[in-house]
Structure 1
Amino acid sequence: MSDDAGQGSDHIDRLRGQWQRELPELDTSPMAVLGRARRITLRVRPGIEAVFARHGLDTGEFDVISTLRRAGAPWRLTPTELYRTLMISSGGLTARLNRLEAAGLIRRREAEEDKRSLLVELTEAGRAKAETTFREDMALEKRILAGLSAHEQEDLAALLRKLALSLEDDGAGAS
């Protein structure tokens, strides 16, 4: 267990030290990455969720409108494309769509090429809300990462991408 780059000890270092004392034969190095990732996520999530709340959204609703906005003009997808992208159930998506439609941020319409299919599309209000909310979220996340240089952020992003891809490739996630 090392004190990285001369930095002070954090909560995870203290936990690892305690485990080292109690179970000295056990390698606790995974905590150095995954424990910190979890703590960081838990620490920043309330601030990010507060951004969404200021715009009258919860995280799931923001996920829907931002997915539609990222899809590009004309900012519409089928419900199937949406729930596959968001990795949620179709029932969970329906509830979100109902709330967003009631708020005037999306509309559901028949697909012109197949009247049996529905399309979900952003309204102008939905597009504006997605963009405004995303800009504020990115400003917050930039402030959160200000403790790292641009180069450190790039290095960290590259390592996290490598880890994410390895989990996708071998299915070694939360089994």
Structure 2
Amino acid sequence: MAVEHTDEVELIVDAWRRERPDLDSDPLLVLSRVTRLARRLDLARATAFASRDLDAWEFDVLSALRRAGSPYELSPGTLGQQTLVTSGTMTNRVDRLESRGYVERRPAPNDRRGVLVRLTKKGRAVVDAAFEDLLAQERDLLAALPQSDRNQLADALQSLLSALEN
């Protein structure tokens, strides 16, 4: 007789079903697993960034600039929108990144009072290396799933997020 593989989430759901059979605890089967995966992802990201002496917020700002394409610059306001922080927080973050030599401020060409934040060569090198490390960590997290399952999971998560964000 084959023994079914049971994970911690299934044990928790089975206990809730026993104690509260009047409630549908099926959402836990998905969302508790998503939470556990998110914790593992956070640890993997922290490992990838720590290997480059970066905090997650530093990677977020540097990667926003890198994704902008050459000349790898954005206004502080756009950076704040992309990284979901206030203008005051972004000012502090740019100051800290500038002190590490990862970004530089320059005047905005079409706005005398405006400023652009530009990724330096040093900043580009560190964000590129951290991104490579991150992708390796994330590939390791997904290694147990065949590509077809990854595609199906990505599609299902996109559908769920689209429904929640609209």
Structure-1-length-normalised TM-score: 0.90
- What is the DSSP-based 3-state SS (H/G/I as helix, E as strand, rest coil) of the residue aligned with 1:147? coil
Partner of 2:143: 146
Cα deviations by residue, 1:128-164 (Å, 9 ceiling, x for unpaired): 1111110111011101100000111010001001111
Partner in structure 2 of residue 89 of structure 1: 86
Residues 1:73 and 2:75 aligned together: no
User: 1:47-67 CA distances to partner (integer Å, 9 max, x unpaired)?
Assistant: 211211111110001000001
Deviations 1:27-54 (A, max 9, x none): 1111111111111111231221121111
What SS does the aligned partner of 1:156 have?
helix
User: How many pairs align?
Assistant: 164
2:20: which partner in 1?
23
User: Which structure carries more relative contact order (alpha carbon 8 Å, separation 6+)?
Assistant: 2
CA–CA separation in structure 2 for the residues paired with 1:105 and 1:43: 28
1:126 aligned to 2:127?
A: no
Cα distance in structure 2, aligned partners of 1:106 and 1:7: 53
Using the aligned pairs only, state the percent identity. Answer: 38
1:55-105: CA deviations, max 9, x gaps?
Answer: 111000100000100011110001111111111122222222111110000
**Counterpart-to-counterpart distance in 1, 2:18 and 2:76:** 52
Determine if the alignment matches structure 1 residue 162 to structure 2 residue 159.
yes
Conserved? CA contact 2:44–2:134, under 8 Å:
no
User: In angstroms, what is the RMSD of aligned CA positions?
Assistant: 1.2
In structure 2, C-alpha distance between the alignment counterparts of 1:165 and 1:147, rounded to whole Å:
26
User: Within 2, Cα distance between the matches of 1:111 and 1:68?
Assistant: 15
- Runs of 4+ deviating beyond 6 Å: none
- Asked if residue 136 in structure 1 is aligned to residue 133 in structure 2, the reply is yes
| Rounded Cα–Cα distance in structure 2 between residues aligned with 1:81 and 1:28 | 41
Which residue matches 1:115?
112
